[in-house]
Amino acid sequence: MQKQTFESPLGQSYVKAVLPNGLQIYIFEKPQYTTVHAIFGTHYGSIDTTFSKNGGKEITVPEGIAHFLEHKLFESEDGDAFTRFAETGAYANAYTSFDRTCYLFSCSNRFDENLDILLDFVQSPYFTAQTVQKEQGIIGQEIRMYEDNPGWRVLFNLLGKMFPSHPVHIDIAGTADSIAQIDDKLLYQCYETFYNPANMFICIAGNVDTEKVLKKIESGIRQCAPVQIKRSEFIDNEPVTEHLVTQELDVAIPMFCYGFKQKIDSPERSLKTRICMSLLLELLCGDASPLYARLIRMGLINDEFDSEYFIGHGYATVLFSGESNDPERVAAEITKEIGNLRENGLDKKMFSAAKCSLYGSAVCRFDSVEAMASQLTECAVADFNLFDEFKLLKSVTIDDVYKLLESFDDDNTVLSLILPRAKSDEAEEV
């Protein structure tokens, strides 16, 4: 087992260990806390629909299969993992995103038992034609539910226009047609590919003993040869051709998502780029920015307004979202402010304040074992040191941040709107 300890300027530390089978383990001891948060994850998300294993033939699987597999792993011949966790008093959950699938629990006691349950069910797949057919009905209902979810649709409608050739525009759960193609053989094939220890990670934060946990994991992980996975390289730099997409749903106020597609030259974004973009968004539309104050004063936004650097393997966009009775005006004001910053430069005092704000937010995350475990999963997926953020925040310059303004192309945007459903004539007469 290879082990490495990382220390922060705040006097805290965590351990990263790599087992001979390739499994990565991250443990952040917080002895002063009473709870523990643990995550067992795999580098396998909804965009991994085309891949090859150990140099074999490239295959394409149905959309939504990663999410389907997440659901099915909780089941076994003897029951389901949620029942087992309930008996220990632990909270358990799981999620599938675009680039990962994670299984987790939080507990304040009986940690060893809960870790045994986590290691057991994630490594014990049980699929049959009958149980798969049953799950297709359950996930089909989930897909239909999200079709009417305004917050979900406003994002995926935008992604569909912005990244039509990248699988990120496909709903994480897939479609009714795609999940109908999933069977037990496909599930086992994807499991044996992506749930290999060399493609997985365990992240734990809380009141634990690192050495004891490492020994327990080492004895509880299946031993098998590492697999070599080759994913398709999706880099979507095609120009946007449709700039507006609308849909009517049951909302009281129009919802919007306004995005600037970012041109990229490699599949991944560096941690420095992520930090610089976070600083830029704080300066552009953070709570203390002139733009935010102006939009609030004009009554164009409310406290639902938010911004995000939405990135992943082969795609990147900057998103602005919220509620507004005049979303087109909000989009115009955002575009105008970007032009003002590009022309007049960034305010040095605001830049210093933004760095302090981000530094403070990073420090506050260390007060939550859940936040720490989640941050460690980012380290595992993106391959960086948890404490690199502090070093980069100190070294990033105002010029580093200003350069990112060049990536905002006014002709490469999409505005997605969810509008209140029109009342029928019959309803109006009543």
User: Catalytic residue positions?
Assistant: 70
Q: Are 51 and 59 in contact (CB under 8 A)?
A: yes
For residue 17, list its beta bridge partners: 3, 25
Six-digit token pair at 118? 């986590």
Q: How many other CB atoms sit within 10 Å of the CB of residue 203?
A: 27
Q: Are 103 and 200 in contact (CB under 8 A)?
A: no
Q: How far apart are CA 368 and CA 106, in angstroms?
A: 12
Q: How many other CB atoms sit within 10 Å of the CB of residue 192?
A: 13
Phi-psi region of 288 (alpha: psi -120 to 50; beta: other; left: phi over 0): alpha
Q: How far apart are CA 376 and CA 25, in angstroms?
A: 9
- DSSP label of 26: E
Q: Residue 251, exposed/middle/buried by CB under 10 A (0-12, 13-18, 19+)?
A: middle
Q: Are 255 and 323 in contact (CB under 8 A)?
A: yes
Phi-psi region of 322 (alpha: psi -120 to 50; beta: other; left: phi over 0): left
